[in-house]
């Protein structure tokens, strides 16, 4: 049932024309697209991160595929000052979707919501860019 | 559209990548440090905490000077905890203690931190298993399941743990910490996992005092094991039988 | 002797006023909790040396009182004392209400109360704390079953006796668990003593009965139901015995510690020069909570008066608070002995007496737990047939 609702929500979000202001505007990421596909990540990112966080914290496994640190590095969004915004900004990657779905994120009471200062070039959400979900999906598929 | 099934199984292709990592450690470390490349490699079981090791510290009190706080500063910088002007509630992952021998008047100074006990009371009392010991002997708090009951702080004989009393911002990515959970010295687990020694040990060495030694207690050939073998040392509150991973010399 | 008839209490003006007062306390507690949650524990008096403060005194008081309040029912069904039988239902209801109040305070003081689900699903079975969570949950189930068999029509009395026996054993284990939270702390010289478990059981007998007497008296007066002077005096004398047992265990605890040179420091602190803790021990725990109530209820002429029992109950409650404050906060205020034979000349509060000054937030949180317990038991009496219509001495049977 829960899975079905998630699917429904994601379907709705990927209807660009019909959705209009309904769908969240998701900023583009830097780095390579997820090999598993964005839909997979949207549905499963929390499971992947939870699994791998336990691997790292409890087993000492540092070679994991889905760390919050890596999410933050690729998905950082820069603010007006050219610096990555933190979770207090509604432009933050996590918040664009989580605010829309009204799902509380529990990560950032402890984790930094911005990448380390030395991190690489970030892609900005340019004005007029077709950075809605459909375009993002297309871009990822290319 | 059917969502792809979720699987955590290892793929053979990724095994070879891990082998590559193991063969070329230096190259791999640099690649990993840049962050992004982690994504491209995909998930699999990698180098775990080694049950064949037990990390420990040996502190030579004779070489520690009372006016030096290099270890405390280094830990604070490394792990992102700092003085907020409330000494009673501030985090203290490591603290300096000056002692006077009641019988002789002899003065000593030493650093105190989590003693990484083999039989740690904090692990026994934790209701949710948030306090735990890694296979290589490092005692940690899994802040993901810590409920902030502070029973471990009641149980710790060394007062090594701190409760985060205020909201925290701007944490180090490798040392997450936040309001309402308990924390303590991690033996710089993020540095140990990449083959470095803890920040306090490095800083102590740089001052020239060299009062702190880090190493594998289970490797009889390691520098720390040799030092423990050849010189007397003791564990704090040894009467409790907790077998701490931190030992003191010349105390 | 007439048949005992249990009836729901009727709402009247004083009851509504009391309910309004309780709601006010609950709102104050909720506001305190939100405030602490938002700002962190920095706004409380607790710190990294005194990690458990006033909320824990209130919580443990209520939890200890909960298991003690069940004793009245046990005396009736397990030990077969007839005069206590009409009181058994209220005893069960009060027990679950007090436990709910205590647990609410305990949970709301957690650093991450939002993770209560973690505490309920991830157990570490080597932790006495985790065992306590199971014991608390089990207590609710067992006492609910106990109430059910007492109130169900046509239930054979053997069933009541059997469930009553299970409940009695359960509450003994539960209080053993509560005492062991402290008794099994090897690191601190004020704790680390097996006697804390029986001491806590003795405290629960005294505090639980005292709370029961006060709630029963209040309920009967507010609803104009008779409460026999003889019944009250009988409970008063029992309370006197329980208070004496508490004093006995406390004496053994401190005498044993005094004999061990290692513990001389902490004993000197609690008994002689610990400031507020010494004062609370002698004046609060021993005098107000022990000697005075014992003298009141066993007084040759005045002991049989209802006022003596009621006053003694109130004093036992105050003394119980003082005792828990001394145990919980005194035990933490005394520094850890990490370096025996050395004195710390400079450090981060090593070897120094730790200071704790509670804030109003913690008081409100604690009083919220009491208000919740009273509100729940009042609500239970309102919707269930808990309280007998008359507890006059003529109505209550003799054994």
pLDDT, tens only, C91-103: 999 999 999 999 9
Judge whether B95 is closer than 8 Å to chain A, CB to CB: no
Which residue intervals of chain B are DSSP H helices? 12-23, 25-33, 37-41, 70-79, 121-125, 151-155, 189-193, 199-206, 223-230
CA B189-B190-B192 angle, to 5 degrees, is 60
Check whether B15 has a pLDDT greater than 70.
no
Q: How far apart are CA C93 and CA A111, in angstroms?
A: 45
CA C179-C181-C183 angle, to 5 degrees, is 65
- Which CATH number does B55-249 carry? 3.30.70.20
Check whether A131 has a pLDDT greater than 80.
no
The tokens describing C217, both together, are: 């008296």
Q: To which H or E segment does residue B162 belong? A: strand B162-163
Domains in chain A: how many in total? 1
The string of pLDDT tens digits covering residues B35-54 is 333 333 333 344 789 999 99
Check whether B186 has a pLDDT greater than 60.
yes
Say what the pLDDT of residue A2 is: 66
Q: Is B125 in Cβ contact with C129 (below 8 Å)?
A: yes
Q: Is C115 in Cβ contact with B147 (below 8 Å)?
A: yes
What is the CATH classification number for the domain harbouring C328?
1.20.1630.10
Residue A9: pLDDT band (50, 70, 90) is low
Average pLDDT, chain A: 77
Higher pLDDT, A119 or B143: B143
ipTM of the complex: 0.94
Q: How far apart are CA A116 and CA B183, in angstroms?
A: 22
Check whether A82 has a pLDDT greater than 70.
yes
| Mutation target among B64, B71, B86, B89 for the C interface, most CBs of C within 10 A | B89
Judge whether B216 is closer than 8 Å to chain A, CB to CB: no
Check whether C168 has a pLDDT greater than 70.
yes
Average pLDDT, chain C: 95
Q: Is B240 in Cβ contact with C187 (below 8 Å)?
A: yes
Q: How far apart are CA C60 and CA C58, in angstroms?
A: 6
Say what the pLDDT of residue B7 is: 43
The DSSP 8-state label assigned to residue B175 in this structure reads B
Say what the pLDDT of residue C394 is: 85
Residue C227, domain member (yes or no): yes
Range of the domain at C116: 6-336+362-387
Chain B residue numbers with beta carbons less than 8 Å from the beta carbon of A86 are: 169
Say what the pLDDT of residue A8 is: 65
Check whether B114 has a pLDDT greater than 60.
yes
Residue A14: pLDDT band (50, 70, 90) is low
Q: Measuring CA to CA, which residue among C246, C225, C231, C238 is closest to residue C179? A: C246
- What separation in angstroms does the CA of B80 have from each of A110, B146, B169? 12, 20, 10
The DSSP 8-state label assigned to residue A84 in this structure reads B
Say what the pLDDT of residue B2 is: 45
Q: Is B86 in Cβ contact with C40 (below 8 Å)?
A: no
Q: Which among B151, B180, B236 has the least Cβ separation from residue C40?
A: B180
How many Å lie between the alpha carbon of B2 and the closest alpha carbon of chain A? 9
Say what the pLDDT of residue A122 is: 38
- What separation in angstroms does the CA of B44 have from each of B5, C32, C49, C221? 17, 46, 42, 70
Say what the pLDDT of residue B3 is: 45
Check whether C157 has a pLDDT greater than 60.
yes
In this complex, which chains have at least 3 CB pairs below 8 Å with chain B?
A: A, C
Say what the pLDDT of residue C344 is: 86
Residue C378, domain member (yes or no): yes
How many Å lie between the alpha carbon of B145 and the closest alpha carbon of chain C? 6
Least CA distance to B145: which residue of chain C?
C118
The tokens describing C60, both together, are: 């443990």
Q: How far apart are CA A107 and CA A53, in angstroms?
A: 11
Higher pLDDT, B221 or A129: B221
Domains in chain C: how many in total? 1
Chain B residue numbers with beta carbons less than 8 Å from the beta carbon of A53 are: 144
Q: To which H or E segment does residue C1 belong? A: none
Say what the pLDDT of residue A119 is: 40
Range of the domain at A82: 22-141
Q: Is A116 in Cβ contact with B173 (below 8 Å)?
A: yes
How many Å lie between the alpha carbon of B139 and the closest alpha carbon of chain C? 16
Q: Where are the domains of chain B?
A: 1-47, 55-249
Q: Express as a percent the part of chain A with pLDDT over 70.
A: 67
Residue B87: pLDDT band (50, 70, 90) is confident
The residue-averaged pLDDT of C266-283 equals 96
Say what the pLDDT of residue A124 is: 37
- The three-class DSSP label of residue A8 is helix
Say what the pLDDT of residue C350 is: 82
Least CA distance to C107: which residue of chain B?
B149
Residue A2, domain member (yes or no): no
Judge whether B27 is closer than 8 Å to chain C, CB to CB: no
Judge whether B143 is closer than 8 Å to chain C, CB to CB: no
Q: How far apart are CA B228 and CA B220, in angstroms?
A: 10
Residue A1, domain member (yes or no): no
Higher pLDDT, A137 or C244: C244
Contact, C72 vs C239, CB < 8 A?
Answer: no
Chain A residue numbers with beta carbons less than 8 Å from the beta carbon of B168 are: 109-110
Say what the pLDDT of residue A1 is: 62
Per mean pLDDT, which of A113-117, C116-120, C337-341, C363-367 is the most reliable?
Answer: C363-367
Q: Which among B98, B145, B179 has the least Cβ separation from residue C122?
A: B145
Say what the pLDDT of residue A140 is: 41
Say what the pLDDT of residue C251 is: 97
Q: How far apart are CA C181 and CA B151, in angstroms?
A: 9
Say what the pLDDT of residue C174 is: 98
The residue-averaged pLDDT of C322-346 equals 92
Residue environment code for C13-46, b if the CB has 16+ CB neighbours within 10 A, otherwise e: eebeeebeebeebbebbeebbeebbeebbbbbbb
Judge whether B35 is closer than 8 Å to chain A, CB to CB: yes
Pairing of strands B162-163, C390-391: unpaired
For B87, other C-beta atoms within 10 Å of its C-beta total: 12
- What separation in angstroms does the CA of C148 have from each of B201, C74, C168? 64, 15, 16
The residue-averaged pLDDT of C281-299 equals 98
Q: Which of residues 98-137 of B touch C (CB under 8 A)?
A: 98-103, 107-108, 112, 121, 123-129
Q: How far apart are CA C347 and CA B110, in angstroms?
A: 10
In this complex, which chains have at least 3 CB pairs below 8 Å with chain A?
A: B
């Amino acid at each position: 049932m829960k899975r079905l609702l998630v699917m429904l929500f994601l379907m709705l979000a990927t209807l660009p024309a019909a959705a209009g202001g309904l769908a969240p505007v998701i900023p583009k990421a830097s780095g390579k697209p997820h090999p598993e596909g964005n839909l997979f990540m949207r549905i499963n990112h929390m499971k992947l991160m939870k699994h791998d966080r336990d691997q790292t914290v409890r087993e000492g496994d540092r070679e994991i595929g889905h760390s919050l640190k890596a999410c933050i590095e690729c998905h950082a969004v820069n603010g007006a000052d050219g610096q990555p915004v933190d979770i207090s900004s509604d432009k933050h990657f996590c918040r664009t979707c989580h605010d829309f779905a009204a799902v509380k994120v529990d990560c950032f009471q402890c984790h930094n919501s911005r990448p380390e200062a030395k991190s690489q070039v970030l892609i900005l959400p340019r004005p007029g860019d077709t950075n809605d979900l459909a375009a993002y999906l297309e871009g990822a598929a290319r | 559209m059917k969502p792809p099934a979720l699987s955590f199984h290892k793929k053979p292709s990724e095994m070879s990548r891990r082998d590559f990592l193991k063969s070329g450690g230096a190259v791999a470390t640099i690649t990993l440090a840049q962050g992004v490349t982690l994504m491209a490699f995909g998930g699999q079981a990698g180098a775990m905490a080694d049950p064949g090791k037990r990390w420990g510290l040996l502190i030579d009190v004779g070489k520690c000077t009372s006016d030096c706080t290099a270890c405390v500063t280094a830990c604070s910088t490394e792990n992102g905890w700092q003085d907020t002007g409330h000494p009673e509630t501030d985090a203290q992952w490591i603290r300096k203690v000056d002692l006077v021998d009641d019988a002789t008047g002899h003065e000593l100074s030493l650093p105190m931190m989590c003693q990484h006990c083999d039989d740690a009371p904090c692990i026994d009392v934790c209701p949710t298993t948030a306090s735990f010991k890694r296979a290589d002997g490092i005692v940690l708090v899994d802040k993901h399941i810590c409920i902030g009951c502070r029973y471990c702080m009641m149980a710790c004989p060394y007062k090594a743990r701190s409760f985060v009393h205020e909201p925290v911002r701007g944490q180090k990515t490798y040392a997450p910490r936040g309001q309402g959970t308990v924390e303590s010295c991690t033996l710089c687990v993020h540095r140990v996992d990449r083959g470095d020694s803890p920040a306090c040990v490095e800083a102590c060495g740089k001052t020239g005092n060299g009062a702190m030694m880090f190493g594998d207690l289970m490797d009889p050939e390691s520098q720390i094991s040799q030092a423990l073998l050849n010189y007397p040392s003791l564990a704090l509150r040894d009467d409790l039988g907790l077998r701490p991973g931190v030992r003191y010399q010349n105390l | 002797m007439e048949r005992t008839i249990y009836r729901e209490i009727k709402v009247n003006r004083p009851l509504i006023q009391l309910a309004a007062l309780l709601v006010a306390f609950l709102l104050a507690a909720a506001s305190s909790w939100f405030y602490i949650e938002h700002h962190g524990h920095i706004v409380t008096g607790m710190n990294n040396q005194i990690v458990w403060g006033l909320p824990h005194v209130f919580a443990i008081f209520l939890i200890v009182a909960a298991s003690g309040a069940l004793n009245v029912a046990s005396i009736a069904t397990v030990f077969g004392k007839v005069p206590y039988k009409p009181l058994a239902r209220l005893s069960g209801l009060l027990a679950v209400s007090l436990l709910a109040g205590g647990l609410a305070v305990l949970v709301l003081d957690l650093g991450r109360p939002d993770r209560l689900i973690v505490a309920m699903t991830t157990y570490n079975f080597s932790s006495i704390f985790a065992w306590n969570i199971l014991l608390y949950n089990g207590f609710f189930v067992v006492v609910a079953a106990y109430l059910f068999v007492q109130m169900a029509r046509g239930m054979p009395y053997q069933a009541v006796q059997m469930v009553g026996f299970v409940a009695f054993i359960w509450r003994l284990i539960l209080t053993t668990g509560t005492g062991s939270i402290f008794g099994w702390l090897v690191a601190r010289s004020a704790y680390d003593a097996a006697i804390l478990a029986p001491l806590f059981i003795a405290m629960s007998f005294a505090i639980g009965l005292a709370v029961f007497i006060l709630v029963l008296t209040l309920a009967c007066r507010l609803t104009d139901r008779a409460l026999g002077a003889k019944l009250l005096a009988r409970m008063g004398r029992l309370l006197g015995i329980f208070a004496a047992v508490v004093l006995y265990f406390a004496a053994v605890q401190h005498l044993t510690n005094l004999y061990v040179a290692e513990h001389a420091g902490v004993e000197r602190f609690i008994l002689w020069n610990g400031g507020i803790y010494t004062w609370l021990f002698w004046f609060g725990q021993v005098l107000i909570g022990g000697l005075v109530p014992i003298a009141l209820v066993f007084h040759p002429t005045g002991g049989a008066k209802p006022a003596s029992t009621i006053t003694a109950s109130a004093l036992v409650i105050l003394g119980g608070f003082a005792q828990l404050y001394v145990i919980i906060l005194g035990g933490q205020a005394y520094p850890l002995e990490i370096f025996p034979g050395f004195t710390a000349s400079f450090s981060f509060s090593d070897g120094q007496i730790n200071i704790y000054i509670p804030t109003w937030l913690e008081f409100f949180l604690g009083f919220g737990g009491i208000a919740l317990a009273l509100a729940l038991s009042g609500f239970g009496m309102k919707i269930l047939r808990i309280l007998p219509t008359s507890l006059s001495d003529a109505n209550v049977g003799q054994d």
